[in-house]
Every structure is written in structure tokens, then in C-alpha cells.
């Protein structure tokens, strides 16, 4: 046996003066007797305590059954809470008391004499190791795997290919149609009315007063087969800002309408709906990680982990004065992904 | 009475005989019934994890009988009036039914959720116990890895379960997941489709999460718990240092009856406490949040605590300039760094720590006696540094609550946390190491000079001294049992012919690492030192704080220190005599 595998052990090495180099383990400390060890009265008392605890558990279980039959959750949050409270506390009594009884029993009545057991190194000894290796060698010899090269190749190939019958259909089907270019488009297109979320009523420009916030979905959203997926991409937040406060670059001047601006409501960080609008500062805060966008200035990021402004939805009004989209967003909405700009 | 006892005994004997003839079970009983386990409160942490898992299984099976894992839409009709007529997924509707119509259903939901929180909390604290006491050292490194995987699986179980009710909160959690997944270079979009079966949210995610949550992850956890416990029995439990405890024995109490009662009883204690929590403390009241819809969101929402560090990490990352355009492809470092790189570093460091320490210290021996954390200052300090970083991230994950609660600006808090995250782990490392060395020095003082008795004696010559009571050998042992650990010595770069030796570079790096671990150290008192301290004055008269231990290096940073006693041979590799156990 090499010492590599042996445990750290007290070695008795001595220095010049004959004192050991390190202290020696004094061995187990003397045992301390408990009250119930010698005193029959204390012993009886301890036993009684354990019995009482078990009895409490029985009471708890009975209480639980009573609560179950007599106090159903009912119609309101309050009655439901009551049912829950009674069931929970009685279950607690039923379970906890068993635990307390058993632990108490072990602590006061069972032997508290420490015992010891020997440990052995994990490593098998040399003889066993040699035998194990010999067995493997014999087996390999038997199979002839080393000699039969083609056979070895055949086994490996067959085993390597077989899982494909599971993996290929799984990967083929699990991602639906795998058409990841869908991220690029939303339901918005030219002439699509901006409507209220969730009612779907169209919105007139005149209803949008300075400072009010509109949560917007495209008209006809609910007629779509995959409306939840479409909604997840198409949600828009619309506000009217005093045109004097609004900074717009030249080529986007016609994306807003008389100070009404509409931006994607999907955070460009990791996609939460951005919903907390602060009228005074024109700041829009994402509640998830506090990215803050300046709605008066192209929804640029003023704080937080988002990198990009929210994409703007170009809007105008139709003949009847309803707000409509001029086109889809000009870039993919939501969080970034590898091929976003391709 | 006595006849009935004998009848019962006879029945038991008969059953035992029947079983033994068919299974040979007596052998297992003989080997395991009286197996010795050591006792310490911190050994309960793992047990709590185990029992909360059992509670999760029990309550989880109850929930599966009523929960409908479907995203099909229904209009709610039921006792909870505010939701009547609201369109929602069957998953959400069945969660409402579980809460309002199934008697005891809400209790099971709440116990299940509290048990999940306790499960993760006990896993993490259990891991801390193993880390700080060095229980991960050989031969237990493999079991550390098993435990590490269990922790990751616990996170997966919690995350998938949390998302099942399909409410607004968990739906937005899934959306964040989708955003994080999409940020992964090259394959991100495809991974998103892989998970959701198409575009977010699709109609597959709840059924998929359900299968993962109730079948895949629990089965893996169960199997790994089995392996974990098998290793515990195989290696025998570690024990804390103490009189009579050695590397060659295990001191404690027998499995039957003491641990059957204590540990078995403790299961009921855990179950009871969780029942009380489920009965009295509302958790995840989904009826207040409403069903998932891509548009609404609520402020101040928190994920379960074990996910907060990720949330905090995402919140702290500055967004400006961290999204890069690489030849037309987008690399979102503002998401990748906090959500992938930082947790990656944290977890890799944790998983690899036993191997890093073993390599750096050259220690290849088995260890069954635990370290007192102070006796491994660098390890303890590393652990505290990691925890500090983790804790700052958790706080950062609640920065909005901190802001509203203390009426502070969220921006300021975030700036402060950014700095704290980068600085405090180093401060924590430094301070912890100092404290450990200080505690070790205090141990030395105590061993050398004994307890202060408060009794002052006046000598004939007018000198006053305080009488010190020496420690008895049991008290002393815990403070002197550990072996002094010293940096590895390496062979010179060139051999006697001036030829540069192979592997020197690696050795040099390793020597540096081992100096990082053991350069600053305080060594345990030796019998010779104690004898010297006693002979200094007949009355044990050395006042505490005399510069007795300064040469021991007491670690005043930097340089090497003279060390008393002969240098030990290179620990791992040099054969040394050792005491045989038989
Ligand atoms: C392995 C550890 C487990 C963890 C950490 C865990 C965690 C969770 C969490 C946090 C929830 C959300 C509960 C809520 O507030 O509604 C949940 C729900 C659920 N869990 Fe588990 N769970 C575990 C194991 C299991 C097992 C083994 C089963 C069943 C065999 C199960 C079945 C369920 C079901 C059906 C739900 C949905 C119930 C509802 O939403 O009301 N869980 N789980
Ligand atoms: S999702 Fe909006 S800040 Fe993270």
C-alpha cells in the first residue's frame, strides 16, 4: 500500500528533547450521565413526555379530518383562507408532534454512549486490483475484440448511428417549422388601425390627450389563429407629447402624428412588456430590470441594461380620424439575437 | 400480556425468516443496523434537503391529479367571482380550481411551493457546510460533484414548477428566459424555437415544462440522491475534530435505533413546519396576478429567491455599448455576460473547487476529520467571497423593492451595487482571512496560557499576576489536532548539470498557488512550545499577548516567514510512515 491513499494520521515523531512533535489524541472524553440514566422518576417522566407528544399528533390528525369535513373552502377568498389555515395547522400538529416525540425519545431515553467504527482506505488493495485487471483482460481476450478490427468498427458504427432514429425526429419536430425569420415581422402594416388593448376599439387621434398613455394592439388581432404569439410581438405603447418637447430626426418626422408617438412595448433587453410611463420626464421604465427609455427622444436608453431604443411604429390618421400604422416596424422588435440585422 | 408478546415475536420471527430465506436480508441488516453516524447540527442540513424533497414528491403527486397542463383557452366559471368570464389557459384555470374547489388543494400548493424554497435553501446551506469544513476532500470529491448536479437540478425543478400555473408573473419569467436564450450567439433563435416549439409563447411550453417538472427532473434527482447517499454510506460520514476522533475511525451513534428515531422523526418535523408555513403564509396567490397575457406586467414582482441572483446580475449590467455588431451579426454582451458568463464562472468555480484545492496544495490523502473553518483561512475566505458576490446579486435582484422601501433612487442603488459587486468579494476575502488567522492565534494563546480565571495573586516581591487555568487535554486537543500546512517546496529549475528540467513551469505555477493557500499561516502549538511556555514562569505567568507567537508568521501579509519545527516533506508524494489501524 502506498501512503498516497492512507489517511492523514497522527504520526509520533519526536524532536530533540524527546517530546512528541505534535500532541497526541487523548481519546474519547469521559461519558456524561443524563438525568434519566440513573433516576427512575426522571426516566418515567421522559417516557410520559414522549407519549403525550404522540397523543398530540393523534389529536392533530383528528382535527385535520374534522376541518376537512366541516370547513370547505367555500366561495370567497376569506373562506378559502380559513379552510387552509385549519388544515395547515392541524396537519402541522399531526406531523410535527410525531417528529418531536421521536427526537425526544432518542435524546432522553436511547443510549447516548458514543461508539466507534473503523474506517478503511477507499482504495482496493493491490491483489484485488490485479485480479480486476486480469478479469477484464480475460473478458476482452474472450471477445476477441482486439483481433477483429472490422468487427470492432462495425460495433462502434452501429451503436453510434442507432440513436439517430430518436434524435432526428425529435430535433426535426420539436421546433415547429424552425422558421426563425418570423421574429422579423409583426401584424402591423400600412393602414392597420391602432386599437385599445384588450377591447380592440379603434382610437381617434383626438382622444389621445397630452400625458395619456395608450396600450395598443393591431386591429383584428383576435381573428388571427396564433393571436397570442402575434400579440406578444405587436404590443405598442402610445403617448402624446407636447411637440416642443419632442426630438425627432428628419427622416422620422412623419412617423409621429401631432406629437403622438407609438413604440414597441417589448423591451429590447430581454423582452418584458415596458409599461411604467412617467409623464413629467417622458421616461418609460421597464419593471423587469429597470431599463429606462426616453419617449420624447426616440425611446433612447437613458438607464439600465438595455442597449437599443425601442423600435418606433410609424403612424398617421385615416380619413375618419382614426390612428393607423404607416407600415410595420422598420427593425425586429424585442431582444437582440444573433442574426437580427441580417 | 406475555403470551401476546410472544405471539407478536413469533410472527416477526416468521416474517424475518421468510424474507431471509428469499433475500438473505440478514446480511444487510447485520451490516447496516448498527452503523455508526456522527452527530452535529450542521449534518441536518442535507437531511432537510432530503425531507423537503420527499414532501415535494408527496404534495406534487397530489397536485398532478388535479392540474391540467394545457394552454388551451377556456372561460373561467367557478367560485372565484372576480375571474368569472375571464379567458385563461386550462393550466391557470385548474390552478384556480386547485385553490378554490379542491379542499386541501391550496394547502398542497402552498406546502409544495414552500418546500421548493426550503429545498433550495437547505441544499445551498448544506453545500456551504461541506465547503467550509473541507468535507469535499478526497475521497469525497465525486460526491461533491453529485451534490453540485443536484443543486442545478433543484434550480431546474423550481424554475419549471414556477412556470406551470401560467399566470402573468411566471409568463413574464418565461419571456425573460426566451430573451436570454435568444442572446446566445449563432444558435440562440433555434434554441428558442427548440424550447417553445415555435415562436414565444406558443402552445407547447406548459405541457413540455410539465413533463420536465414531474418526470424528468424528479427522476434524475431521485437517482442522484440515491447515489449521493450510497457514497455517504460507502465513505462513512466525516466527523468534526474532537477527542477520540481520528482519520481511522468514525465516532457517533448507531443507525438503529438512535438515527432511525432522530432522522425519521426529523422528517416529520420538516413536514410539520412546512405544513404550518403552507397553512399560515400565502405564497404565489396566482388569482391576484391573473392569467398570462403578453401585454400586462406588474412592478415589484420577484422570482423565487434562488433565481434572484440571475435577476440581479441582469439588472446590474450596464447596457450602453455592450451590444456589439460583428460583421452584421449581433452579440448581446449586455445579456450574455450577466446571464451566462457570470453564473458560468460562479458555478464552474464551485464545481471545480475540490480539484483546484487538491492540485494547489498537492494533497492526495484521504480526509475524514473535518476542518474547523478557521484552520483553512484561504478556503474559508474564498467561500465567503463567493457568497458575498452571490448575496450582492440577490440584493440587486430586489433593487426596486429596496428603492421603494427606503425611498432611494433606483439608479443610485444600481450604481452602488455595481461597485459593491466588484469590490466587496475582495474585501470579504481579505477580512475573512484576517479573522481566521486571528482566531487561530487566539487558539494558540489559549493553549499556551490557559483560561483567565480572574484571580489575581500578589507575590512577595510586590508583582501581581493573574492566575491562568491550563486547558485539560480534551479541551486542548480540538485546538492542536490539525497538522500544520505549508506551501509546497519545488525542485530547482535546473538539475545539477544546469539542464532545465521538464515540468518546471507547471511546478512553479503550482508552488505559487500553494503559497497563496498556505503562506500566511498560524501553526498549532506543539508540545515543545507548551513546555517552553510553562517553564517561562512557574505560575503560568506569561501575560496574554506577549510576542510569543510572532515568529510563527501570524501572517502579516506578503513575504515568507520563519517557521518553527522541521519542515515537513512534500505532503502528497513522499512516503511517510503511518499508524496501522489493526
Ligand atoms: C424536485 C423538486 C421540486 C421542486 C423544486 C418543485 C417546485 C415547484 C414550484 C415552485 C411550483 C409552483 C407552485 C405554485 O405556486 O403553484 C410547482 C408546481 C407544480 N409541481 Fe412541483 N416541484 C418539485 C417536484 C415535483 C414533483 C415530484 C411533482 C409531481 C410528481 C410536482 C408537481 C407539480 C405540479 C403538478 C405543479 C403545478 C401545480 C399548480 O400550479 O398548482 N413537483 N413545483
Ligand atoms: S426586460 Fe426590460 S429591462 Fe430587462
Confidence class of residue B4 from pLDDT cuts 50, 70 and 90?
A: low
Q: Please list the residues that pair with B456 across neighbouring strands.
A: B466
One domain, residues A165 and A188: no
Kindly report the average pLDDT of chain B as a whole number. Answer: 88
Task: Write the residue with the smallest CA distance to atom 2 of ligand 1.
Answer: B157
Q: Which residue of B has its CA nearest to A114?
A: B252
One domain, residues A224 and A321: yes
One domain, residues A142 and A219: no
One domain, residues A254 and A225: yes
Residue A233 CA to residue A255 CA, distance in Å, equals: 19
Contacts of B169 (CB under 8 A, 6+ apart): B286, B289, B298, B301
Residue B95 CA to residue B582 CA, distance in Å, equals: 62
| Lowest-pLDDT choice from A21-30, B177-186, B270-279, B387-396 | A21-30
How much is the pLDDT for B541? 43
**Do the beta carbons of residue B113 and residue B283 sit within 8 Å?**
yes
Give domain status of residue A2, yes or no: no
With CA atoms as reference, report the closest residue to B564 among B504, B508, B535, B524.
B524
One domain, residues A80 and A204: no
How much is the pLDDT for B490? 82
Give domain status of residue A88, yes or no: yes
> Quick check: B334 contacting A, CB < 8 Å?
yes
Give domain status of residue A20, yes or no: no
Residue linked to cell 473478458: A139
One domain, residues A131 and A204: no
Contacts of B411 (CB under 8 A, 6+ apart): A303
Specify the 3-state DSSP secondary structure of B19. helix
Residue finishing a domain among A136, A154, A172: A172
Q: Which CATH number characterizes residue A274's domain?
A: 2.102.10.10
With CA atoms as reference, report the closest residue to B388 among B346, B359, B360, B353.
B346
Give domain status of residue A22, yes or no: no
Cis peptide before A198 (omega within 30 of 0): yes
Residue B558 clears pLDDT 60, i.e. is over it: no
The answer to whether the pTM exceeds 0.95 is no
How much is the pLDDT for B246? 93
Give domain status of residue A177, yes or no: no
How much is the pLDDT for A12? 61
One domain, residues A216 and A274: yes
**Do the beta carbons of residue A123 and residue A5 sit within 8 Å?**
yes
One domain, residues A209 and A161: no
DSSP state for residue B214 in the 8-state scheme: I
Residue linked to cell 377556456: B74
Contacts of A129 (CB under 8 A, 6+ apart): none
Confidence class of residue B536 from pLDDT cuts 50, 70 and 90?
A: low
Inter-chain touch A84–B278, beta carbons under 8 Å: yes
User: What is the count of residue pairs from A and B with beta carbons less than 8 Å apart?
Assistant: 404
Ligand 2 and A220: CB distance under 6 A: no
How much is the pLDDT for B534? 83
Residue B301 clears pLDDT 90, i.e. is over it: no
Tell which of B103, B195, B310, B574 to mutate to test the A interface (max A CBs under 10 Å).
B103
How much is the pLDDT for B553? 35
Residue B17 CA to residue B10 CA, distance in Å, equals: 10
Confidence class of residue B580 from pLDDT cuts 50, 70 and 90?
A: very low
> Quick check: A180 contacting B, CB < 8 Å?
yes
Domain range for A83: 34-115+124-172
Which of A119, A232, A305 is nearest residue B294 as measured by Cβ atoms?
Answer: A232
Query: Which atom from ligand 1 is nearest to the alpha carbon of B66?
Result: 35
pLDDT along chain A (342 residues), means of 10: 39 71 89 84 93 98 97 87 96 98 93 90 94 94 88 95 96 93 92 93 94 93 93 95 90 92 96 91 92 94 94 95 96 94 86
One domain, residues A140 and A102: yes
Confidence class of residue B537 from pLDDT cuts 50, 70 and 90?
A: low
One domain, residues A166 and A270: no
From chain A residues 204-263, the ones with a CB under 8 A of any chain B CB are 215, 217, 226, 228-229, 231-233, 235
How much is the pLDDT for A1? 30
How much is the pLDDT for A3? 36
Give domain status of residue A254, yes or no: yes
One domain, residues A167 and A196: no
Task: Give tens-digit pLDDT for B245-259.
Answer: 999 999 999 998 999
- Ligand 1: list residues with CB < 6 Å: B 53, 56-57, 60-61, 63-64, 67, 95, 98, 109, 112-113, 116, 119, 154, 157-158, 161-162, 164-165, 213-214, 217-218, 221, 284
Q: What is the mean pLDDT of residues B550-555?
A: 35
One domain, residues A99 and A220: no
Residue B357 clears pLDDT 90, i.e. is over it: yes
Residue B81 clears pLDDT 60, i.e. is over it: yes
Which of B194, B200, B411 is nearest residue A229 as measured by Cβ atoms?
Answer: B200
How much is the pLDDT for A275? 86
Give domain status of residue A196, yes or no: yes
Domain count, chain A: 2
Give domain status of residue A289, yes or no: yes
Pairing of strands A283-285, A276-278: antiparallel
What domains can you pick out in chain B, each with its CATH number? 43-63+109-280 (1.20.810.10), 304-442 (no CATH), 450-471+527-582 (no CATH)
From the CA of B164, the nearest ligand is: 1
Which of B106, B193, B528 is nearest residue A80 as measured by Cβ atoms?
Answer: B106
With CA atoms as reference, report the closest residue to B264 among A51, A102, A93.
A102
Residue A141 CA to residue A135 CA, distance in Å, equals: 10
Amino acid at each position: 500500500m502506498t501512503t498516497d491513499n492512507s489517511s492523514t494520521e497522527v504520526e509520533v515523531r519526536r524532536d530533540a528533547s524527546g517530546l512528541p512533535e505534535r500532541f497526541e489524541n487523548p481519546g474519547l472524553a469521559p461519558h456524561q450521565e443524563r438525568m434519566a440514566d440513573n433516576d427512575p422518576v426522571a426516566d418515567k417522566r421522559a417516557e410520559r413526555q414522549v407519549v403525550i407528544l404522540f397523543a398530540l399528533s393523534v389529536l392533530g390528525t383528528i382535527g385535520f379530518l374534522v376541518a376537512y369535513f366541516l370547513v370547505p373552502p367555500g366561495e370567497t377568498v376569506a373562506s378559502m383562507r380559513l379552510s387552509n389555515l385549519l388544515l395547515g395547522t392541524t396537519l402541522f400538529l399531526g406531523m410535527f408532534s410525531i417528529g418531536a416525540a421521536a427526537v425526544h425519545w432518542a435524546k432522553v431515553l436511547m443510549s447516548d454512549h458514543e461508539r466507534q467504527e473503523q474506517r478503511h482506505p477507499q482504495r482496493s488493495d493491490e491483489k484485488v486490483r490485479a485480479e480486476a485487471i486480469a478479469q477484464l483482460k480475460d473478458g476482452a481476450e474472450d471477445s476477441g475484440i482486439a483481433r477483429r478490427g472490422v468487427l470492432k468498427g462495425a460495433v462502434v458504427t452501429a451503436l453510434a448511428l442507432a440513436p439517430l432514429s430518436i434524435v432526428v425526429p425529435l430535433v426535426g419536430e420539436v421546433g415547429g417549422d424552425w422558421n426563425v425569420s418570423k421574429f422579423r415581422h409583426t401584424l402591423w402594416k400600412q393602414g392597420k388601425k391602432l386599437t385599445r388593448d384588450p377591447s380592440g376599439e379603434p382610437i381617434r387621434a383626438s382622444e389621445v390627450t397630452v400625458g395619456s398613455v395608450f396600450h395598443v394592439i393591431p386591429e383584428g388581432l383576435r381573428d388571427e389563429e396564433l393571436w397570442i404569439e402575434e400579440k406578444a410581438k405587436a404590443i405598442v405603447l402610445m403617448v402624446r407629447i407636447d411637440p416642443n418637447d419632442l426630438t425627432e430626426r428628419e427622416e422620422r418626422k412623419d412617423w409621429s402624428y401631432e406629437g403622438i408617438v407609438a413604440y414597441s412595448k417589448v423591451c429590447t433587453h430581454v423582452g418584458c412588456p415596458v409599461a411604467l410611463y412617467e409623464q413629467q420626464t417622458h421616461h418609460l421604465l421597464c419593471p423587469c430590470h429597470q431599463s429606462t427609455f426616453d419617449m420624447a427622444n426616440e425611446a433612447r436608453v437613458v438607464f439600465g441594461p438595455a442597449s437599443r431604443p425601442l423600435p418606433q411604429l410609424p403612424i398617421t390618421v385615416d380619413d375618419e380620424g382614426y390612428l393607423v400604422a404607416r407600415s410595420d416596424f422598420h427593425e425586429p422588435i424585442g431582444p437582440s439575437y444573433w442574426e437580427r440585422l441580417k | 400480556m406475555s403470551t401476546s408478546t410472544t405471539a407478536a415475536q413469533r410472527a416477526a420471527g416468521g416474517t424475518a425468516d421468510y424474507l431471509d430465506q428469499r433475500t438473505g436480508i440478514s446480511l444487510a441488516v447485520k451490516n447496516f443496523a448498527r452503523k455508526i453516524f456522527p452527530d452535529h447540527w450542521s449534518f441536518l442540513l442535507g437531511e432537510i434537503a432530503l425531507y423537503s424533497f420527499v414532501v415535494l414528491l408527496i404534495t406534487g403527486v397530489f397536485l398532478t391529479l388535479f392540474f391540467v397542463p394545457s394552454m388551451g383557452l377556456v372561460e373561467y366559471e367557478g367560485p372565484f367571482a372576480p375571474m368569472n368570464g375571464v379567458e385563461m389557459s386550462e393550466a391557470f384555470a385548474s390552478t384556480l380550481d386547485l385553490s378554490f374547489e379542491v379542499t386541501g388543494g391550496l394547502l398542497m400548493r402552498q406546502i409544495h411551493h414552500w418546500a421548493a424554497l426550503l429545498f433550495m435553501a437547505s441544499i445551498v446551506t448544506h453545500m456551504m457546510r461541506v465547503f467550509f469544513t473541507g468535507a469535499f476532500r478526497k475521497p469525497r470529491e465525486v460526491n461533491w460533484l453529485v451534490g453540485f448536479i443536484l443543486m442545478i437540478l433543484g434550480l431546474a425543478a423550481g424554475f419549471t414548477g414556477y412556470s406551470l400555473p401560467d399566470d402573468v408573473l411566471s409568463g413574464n419569467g418565461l419571456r425573460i428566459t426566451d430573451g436570454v436564450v435568444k442572446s446566445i450567439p449563432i444558435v440562440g433563435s433555434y434554441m428558442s424555437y427548440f424550447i417553445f416549439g415555435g415562436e414565444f409563447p406558443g402552445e407547447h411550453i406548459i405541457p413540455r415544462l410539465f413533463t420536465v417538472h414531474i418526470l424528468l427532473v424528479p427522476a434524475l434527482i431521485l437517482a442522484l440522491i440515491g447515489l449521493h447517499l450510497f457514497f455517504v454510506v460507502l465513505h462513512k460520514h466525516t466527523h468534526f475534530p474532537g477527542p477520540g476522533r481520528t482519520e481511522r475511525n468514525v465516532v457517533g451513534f448507531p443507525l438503529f435505533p438512535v438515527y432511525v428515531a432522530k432522522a425519521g422523526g426529523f422528517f416529520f418535523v420538516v413536514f410539520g413546519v412546512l405544513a404550518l408555513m403552507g397553512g399560515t403564509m400565502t405564497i404565489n396567490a396566482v388569482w391576484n396576478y391573473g392569467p398570462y397575457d403578453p401585454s400586462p406586467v406588474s412592478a415589484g414582482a420577484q422570482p423565487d429567491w434562488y433565481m434572484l441572483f440571475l435577476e440581479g446580475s441582469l439588472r446590474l449590467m450596464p447596457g450602453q455599448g455592450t451590444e456589439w455588431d460583428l460583421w452584421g451579426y449581433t452579440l448581446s454582451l449586455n445579456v450574455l455576460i450577466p446571464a451566462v458568463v457570470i453564473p458560468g464562472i460562479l458555478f464552474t468555480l464551485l464545481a471545480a473547487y475540490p480539484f483546484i484545492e487538491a492540485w494547489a496544495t498537492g494533497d492526495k490523502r484521504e480526509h475524514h476529520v473535518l476542518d474547523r473553518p478557521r484552520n483553512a483561512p484561504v478556503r474559508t475566505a474564498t467561500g465567503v467571497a463567493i457568497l458575498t458576490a452571490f448575496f450582492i446579486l440577490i440584493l440587486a435582484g430586489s433593487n426596486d423593492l429596496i428603492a421603494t422601501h427606503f425611498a432611494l433612487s433606483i439608479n443610485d442603488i444600481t450604481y452602488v451595487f455595481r461597485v459593491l459587486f466588484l469590490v466587496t468579494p475582495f474585501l470579504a476575502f481579505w477580512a475573512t482571512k484576517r479573522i481566521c488567522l486571528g482566531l487561530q492565534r487566539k487558539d494558540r494563546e489559549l493553549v499556551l496560557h490557559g483560561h483567565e480565571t480572574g484571580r489575581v495573586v500578589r507575590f512577595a516581591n510586590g508583582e501581581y499576576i493573574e492566575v491562568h487555568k491550563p486547558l485539560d487535554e480534551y479541551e486542548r486537543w480540538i485546538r492542536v489536532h490539525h497538522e500544520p500546512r505549508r506551501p509546497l517546496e519545488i525542485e530547482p529549475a535546473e538539475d545539477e548539470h544546469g539542464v532545465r528540467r521538464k515540468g518546471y513551469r507547471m511546478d512553479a505555477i503550482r508552488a505559487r498557488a500553494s503559497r497563496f493557500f498556505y503562506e500566511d499561516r498560524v501553526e498549532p502549538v506543539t508540545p515543545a512550545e507548551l513546555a517552553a511556555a510553562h517553564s517561562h514562569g512557574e505560575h503560568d505567568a506569561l501575560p496574554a499577548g506577549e510576542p510569543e507567537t510572532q515568529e510563527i508568521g501570524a501572517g502579516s501579509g506578503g513575504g515568507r516567514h520563519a517557521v518553527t519545527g522541521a519542515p515537513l516533506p512534500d505532503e502528497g508524494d513522499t512516503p511517510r510512515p503511518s499508524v496501522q489501524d489493526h
